[in-house]
Amino acid sequence: MLLADQRSAVVAACRDLLAAGLVRGTSGNVSVREQATGTIAITPTGVPYPGMRASDVAALAPDGSQLAGALKPTSELALHLAVYRDRPDVGAVVHTHSVFATTFAVLGEQIPPVHYLIVRAGGAVPVAPYARYGTAELAESCVRTLGRGFAVLLANHGVVAVGADLAAAMAVAEAVEYTAELAWRARQAGVPQLLDADQLAAVAEAFAGYGQPSGRDESK
């Protein structure tokens, strides 16, 4: 099966998003790009995640033409393709309708840096102007507002998170929702304290060395 690993990974990611409450029903969509060829595995439109199979996931050429998969790709295909065209560093796109982040999108407000995990998104998460879902206008608005960051809110719609690979994009989506929930809850009690640019830069530097070194022998 063409892009077998990537298509299976897309299904697993969708189920993880559903289990985490970051999507509801058939909302949201996920794609992964194979960097060597530029081919893309992307969720089909309107398919419930619990029953989705790897063979349902569309495999696309870089221009969006369908190479494999019996089902039509997501209605947000234009958005995914636009991100990949603009960002050679991006290997995966995760679009969610997570409740707290989408609340900020509905308010037309960026998610403020109330917690250091927002660094995964590149800092405060900006809001792209509203455009109807599935349109070229939405794709352009998303890419323009995303810039070199890793997350953007779509006004009155949801969240787009990107990363070098699917694990990184998923981590961004999770960090954005976590920070949005903290910001919302803190607002109910008072005025949240925000991290400044220097504090965020220090976190970004610390993140660069976070985790176990590559090549570590797990048997020791």
Provide the 3-class DSSP secondary structure of residue 202: helix
Q: What is the DSSP letter of 131?
A: -
Query: Is the separation of the CB atoms in 105 and 159 below 8 Å?
Result: yes
Rounded to whole angstroms, the Cα distance separating 95 from 101 reads 12
Q: Which residues are catalytic?
A: 76
Residue type, 124: A
